[in-house]
Chains A and B, each alone.
Chain A
Amino acid sequence: TQLLEQSPQFLSIQEGENLTVYCNSSSVFSSLQWYRQEPGEGPVLLVTVVTGGEVKKLKRLTFQFGDARKDSSLHITAAQPGDTGLYLCAGSFPSGYALNFGKGTSLLVTP
């Protein structure tokens, strides 16, 4: 059973466009991470959110944690080819330690 559902599964856009990726669950998480993974490499941590309603910005990337801490979104402004990769969200429960991952959103940005 996949605790975290990510959408869309695939996204192909042109350089300069904006996009939003969603990560949804019926479970409440104590923290949620977003990772980016490139082919042949491990996931790289982008951000951690812990407070409901929290918004974090990382250059052109904006991350938001839902008020109820069940969902999150990642918005990329003016996408660049270097943003290409697999974006993974992962949530932790208060009493747990393993990360629960979504299946990811595969993003392709073409020049």
Chain B
Amino acid sequence: GAGVSQSPSNKVTEKGKDVELRCDPISGHTALYWYRQRLGQGLEFLIYFQGNSAPDKSGLPSDRFSAERTGESVSTLTIQRTQQEDSAVYLCASRGPDREGRNEQFFGPGTRLTVL
């Protein structure tokens, strides 16, 4: 079946502009995650959606970052007033029913964001 898809694959923007990144999870996956991968760093957790529960936003680095999810489908990550330090690859992952606490997440190809 289809995997996680993300768009755009690349985004170049100017400092101060807003950007919106999109994620389509694997069909039927109720859990959706956003991570950020900066050069030379491990993946950093940003936000987690599980079904209709309130999202866990504890990883968002500032109030310029926000995310929404429509039901159990598409999610958008919005970064307002972008800064150069926001340049990174933004990765989306989804997870199906959690077997035995394995927490197996499947990642999309990412959106590479460059802020000039």
Interface residues of A (CB under 8 A from B): 2, 4, 30-31, 33, 35, 40-45, 48, 50, 88, 90, 92, 94, 97-104
A-B residue pair count with CB separations less than 8 angstroms: 70
B1: Cβ under 8 A from any A Cβ = no
A–B complex contacts, Cβ < 8 Å, 7 sampled: A2-B42, A40-B109, A42-B110, A48-B104, A90-B43, A98-B45, A99-B45
Residues of the B chain whose Cβ atoms lie less than 8 Å from the Cβ of A102: 42
**Contact among A40, A42, A45, A97 with B91 in the assembled complex (CB-CB below 8 Å):** A42
Residues of the A chain whose Cβ atoms lie less than 8 Å from the Cβ of B91: 42-43
Q: Please tell me if the beta carbons of B104 and A103 are within 8 angstroms of each other in the complex.
A: no
Give, as a whole number of angstroms, the nearest-CB distance from A28 to chain B. 13
Q: Please tell me if the beta carbons of B42 and A33 are within 8 angstroms of each other in the complex.
A: no
Q: Please tell me if the beta carbons of A45 and B42 are within 8 angstroms of each other in the complex.
A: no
Q: Please tell me if the beta carbons of A101 and B104 are within 8 angstroms of each other in the complex.
A: no
Give, as a whole number of angstroms, the nearest-CB distance from A36 to chain B. 11
List which B14-62 residues lie within 8 A (CB) of chain A. 31, 33, 35, 40-45, 48, 50, 56, 59
Q: How far is the CA of A102 from the CA of B35 in the complex (A)?
A: 13
Q: Which of A43, A45, A92, A101 counts the most chain B CB atoms within 10 A? A: A43
B105: Cβ under 8 A from any A Cβ = yes
Residues of the A chain whose Cβ atoms lie less than 8 Å from the Cβ of B4: 42
**Contact among B45, B103, B112 with A31 in the assembled complex (CB-CB below 8 Å):** B103
